[in-house]
Amino acid sequence: MMKLLIAKPSPFARKVRVALHEKGIEFEQVLDNPWNPGARAGQINPLGKLPVLDTGDGRQIYDSRVIIEYLETLGRAPALLGQDADARVMHRQIEALADGVCDAVVLIVLERARRVVLRSTDWLERQQHKVTAGIAEAARLLDGREWYVGEAFGLADLSVGCMLGYVDLRVPEIEWRRAYPDLDALTRRLESRPSFRRSRPESQSITEVG
Ligand SMILES: N[C@@H](CCC(=O)N[C@@H](CS)C(=O)NCC(=O)O)C(=O)O
C-alpha cells in the first residue's frame, strides 16, 4: 500500500490527500512534523519537506506537484489535469498560483513565530501582499464559473480549495469571502466533497508551523 508522509495543517500534503481520495486509492497516512529535529521528512527528502509519497514499489516521490503527476500516470479516474495541452497549462498555472500563496503563508507563520524584536514588518507585509494578490487573481481567473477549467473538477480547483482552507487556518484575519463570493461558493462546493471533508487541515500543536 502507498504511504504518504503528511502534517495535518499542510496544504501541500492536503493536495495529495484529496487527489488520492478522489481517485479512490487507498493509502496510509504517516504523521510527521518537518520542523522538529529528527523529522522523517529530512531523512527521505533532502529538502526536508513534506509531502513524500512512498509508492510501495521502492520509490519515494516528493513535492506535491510531482506526486500528482505520478498519480495521473496510474490512469485512475477522475483525471485531474484534462487532456489537451492548454487545459493542462491552465491547471498547472493555477496550481502554481495557489502553491505560491501557501508558501507565503508558511513564511508569515514562521516570521510570527520569531521573537518580536527579530520580526520584520517589511517581510511580513511582502508576504501578506502575495497572499491577498494571489487570492484576488484566483477570483479573477474563476470569473464566476463553476470550475476553473472546462466543466469538471480538476487540479486547479483542488489547489485553490487547499490554499483557501490553509489561509483560513493560518491567517484568518484575511477576509476574502465577502470580497469574492464566487470563491466562497467554490470552497463550499469543494469542502462538501468527501475528499475535502476527510482531509480538513488541523493545527498539530502550537509550536508546529507546517
Ligand atoms: N513545493 C512543495 C512545498 C512543500 C512544503 O513547503 N511543505 C512544508 C509543510 S507545509 C514543509 O515541509 N516545510 C518544512 C521546511 O521547509 O523545512 C510541495 O508542493 O510539496
Residue 89 Cα, ligand 1 centroid: separation in angstroms? 23
Q: What is the mean pLDDT of residues 100-122?
A: 95
Does residue 206 surpass a pLDDT of 50?
no
> What is the reported pLDDT for 200?
94
Residue 68 Cα, ligand 1 centroid: separation in angstroms? 15
pLDDT band at 204 (very low <50, low <70, confident <90, very high): confident
> What is the reported pLDDT for 199?
96
pLDDT in tens, 131-172: 999 999 999 999 999 999 999 999 999 999 999 999 999 999
Q: Whose CA is nearest to atom 12 of ligand 1?
A: 49
pLDDT band at 1 (very low <50, low <70, confident <90, very high): very high
Cell of 81: 489535469
Q: What is the mean pLDDT of residues 104-128?
A: 95
Q: Whose CA is nearest to atom 5 of ligand 1?
A: 49
Q: Which fold has domain 2-73?
A: Glutaredoxin (3.40.30)
How high does pLDDT run on average in the chain? 95
pTM of the prediction?
Answer: 0.96
Distances (CA, A) of 132 to 24, 125, 146, 159, 183: 34, 10, 22, 16, 13
CA atoms within 13 A on the CB side of 72: 14
CATH class of 85-193: mainly alpha
Q: Which of 6-20, 61-75, 111-125, 194-208 has the lowest mean pLDDT?
A: 194-208
The secondary structure of 113-174 as a DSSP string is HS-GGG--HHHHHHHHHHHHHHHHHHHHHHTT-SSSSTTS--HHHHHHHHHHHHHHHH-TTS
Q: How far apart are CA 207 and CA 74, in angstroms?
A: 37
Does residue 195 surpass a pLDDT of 90?
yes
- 49 CA: nearest ligand 1 atom: 12
pLDDT above 70: percentage of residues in the chain: 97
Please tell me if the domain spanning 2-73 has the same topology as the one spanning 85-193.
Answer: no
Residue spans per domain, the chain: 2-73, 85-193
Residue 156 Cα, ligand 1 centroid: separation in angstroms? 19
Residue 47 Cα, ligand 1 centroid: separation in angstroms? 8
- 99 CA: nearest ligand 1 atom: 19
Residues with CB under 6 A from ligand 1: 7, 10, 12, 34, 41, 48-51, 63-65, 99, 106, 210
Residue 63 Cα, ligand 1 centroid: separation in angstroms? 8
Residue 8 Cα, ligand 1 centroid: separation in angstroms? 12
Q: What is the mean pLDDT of residues 58-74?
A: 97
